[in-house]
Amino acid sequence: MIIYALLFLLLVSFFSHIASIIFYILNKSTRIFNFFVSTLISNMCLSMVLIVFALRNPEMIRSLNMRLILWVLSGIIMIITLFIQIAVFRNVFRRSRDPEFYHFNYFGKKVYEDGIIRKSEFFSFVISLPFLLIIGAYFVARLINIFIYGHI
């Protein structure tokens, strides 16, 4: 049970490390850089603890339910990519309501400007879409399998 908790902590620390890298690139803040360094240290410490557990008790590693771990991991990745998709849609919808990003043509139709969607938002949407579809399909298929057969 402790291995599952350590793996979950490592997973959370790893995702927060990736998020801190992204936010540091966007903001260049000292506070975010300090958070980046702390997640780096926590990743290394958790990895060392897991290595010690694996070397001392290899039967604990062999007894891990990898289907459960992959299912939880796919659910977390699906939720993260879903939040990315929702954030992009929310930002574009807000800009579509802002008069700065549209004008009316001669016939009275609304014409949107070029800056309504940013390049970074477009690329994050396009890159996260396959992850959402593939990993989300795996998560939902395993979830249906749990409800029908009662096991992972």
Is there a single domain that holds both residue 56 and residue 82?
no
Side-chain half-sphere CA neighbours of 90 within 13 A: 6
**Which token pair is 55?**
């070397």
Is there a single domain that holds both residue 88 and residue 142?
yes
For 104, the domain range is: 65-152
CB contact at 8 A, 136 and 81: yes
Is there a single domain that holds both residue 44 and residue 78?
no
Picking from 33, 63, 93, the residue at the C-terminal end of a domain is 63
Is there a single domain that holds both residue 79 and residue 113?
yes
Judged by phi (left if over 0) then psi (alpha if -120 to 50, else beta), residue 103 lies in beta
What pLDDT does residue 139 have?
92
- For the ranges 22-36, 91-105, 132-146, the one whose mean pLDDT is highest: 132-146
CB contact at 8 A, 67 and 45: no
pTM of the model: 0.73
Residue-wise pLDDT tens digits, 110-150:
888 888 888 888 888 888 899 899 999 999 999 998 889 88
